[in-house]
Amino acid sequence: MVTALGGGTVRDVLLDRHPIFWIAQPEFLLACFAATALTLIYVHLRIPAFRALFVADALGLAFFTVGGVQIAEQVGLSGLLALLMGVITGVVGGVLRDVLLAEIPLILRPGQLYATSAIVGAALYLLLERVGVSRDPAALAGMVTIALVRFAAIVWRLELPVLTVEDPL
């Protein structure tokens, strides 16, 4: 529930958008319970397919990020702020999950292009909208881009250049 609902919750709190989406529509909670139950049954019966988690995570990132940008647009934000709200919606749930497990969030580890993929896809969506592409194809293009960048990062182990600084302490 933290992973699935955390990003949208932080977005709604930051935007003062009340009631928060899962208070307005408690079906979100029921969907989490159902997904948890199905997942527990599945992994009890068989080992999950290699990287199944990463595929699910990439699709969630794509869907939540673009959806978050659209909600930010609904409340009148645009450009950088809409992009940022999309990225927060997409990545904060996973960040909270990793923080609760006392691990450095995936988003801060090299070789993931995690935030990068969300930023690129959200920016593409906003850019396509600005040049006149209608909402749904623009959203689809943004989501596909996010998923593809994430898959590429995992398959080819792409990474942005890492800057190392000698610790001055």
Stretch touching a copy of itself by CB under 8 A, among 13-21, 59-67, 131-139, 144-152: 13-21
CA distance 113 to 82: 20
3-class DSSP state for residue 163? coil
State how far the alpha carbon of 41 is from the alpha carbons of 4, 34, 37, 46, in Å. Answer: 19, 11, 6, 9
135 near a copy of itself, rule: CB under 8 A: no
**From CA 92, how far away is CA 86, in angstroms rounded?**
10
Q: Which of 3, 21, 29, 31 binds a copy of itself (CB under 8 A)?
A: 29
Q: Give CA separation, 21 vs 15, 36, 37, in Å.
A: 12, 20, 22
- CB-based burial label for 9 (10 Å; 0-12, 13-18, 19+): buried
Question: Which CB sits closer to a copy of itself, 35 or 100?
Answer: 100
Q: Which is nearer to a copy of itself, 56 or 137 (CB)?
A: 56
Among positions 84, 91, 123, 146, the unique one binding a copy of itself when judged by CB under 8 A: 84
Do 92 and 8 form a contact (C-beta atoms < 8 A)? no
Cβ at position 115, least distance to a copy of itself in Å: 11
166 is an interface residue for a copy of itself by CB under 8 A: yes
Q: Does residue 31 touch a copy of itself according to CB under 8 A?
A: no
Of 51, 109, 135, 157, which lies in the binding site for a copy of itself, with binding defined by CB under 8 A?
A: 51
Establish if 53 lies at the interface with a copy of itself (CB under 8 A).
yes
Question: How many whole angstroms separate alpha carbon 121 and alpha carbon 5?
Answer: 20
The amino acid at residue 40 is L
Binding interface with a copy of itself (CB under 8 A) = 9, 13-16, 18-20, 23, 26, 29-30, 40, 43-44, 47-53, 77, 79-81, 84, 95, 99-105, 108, 163, 165-166, 168
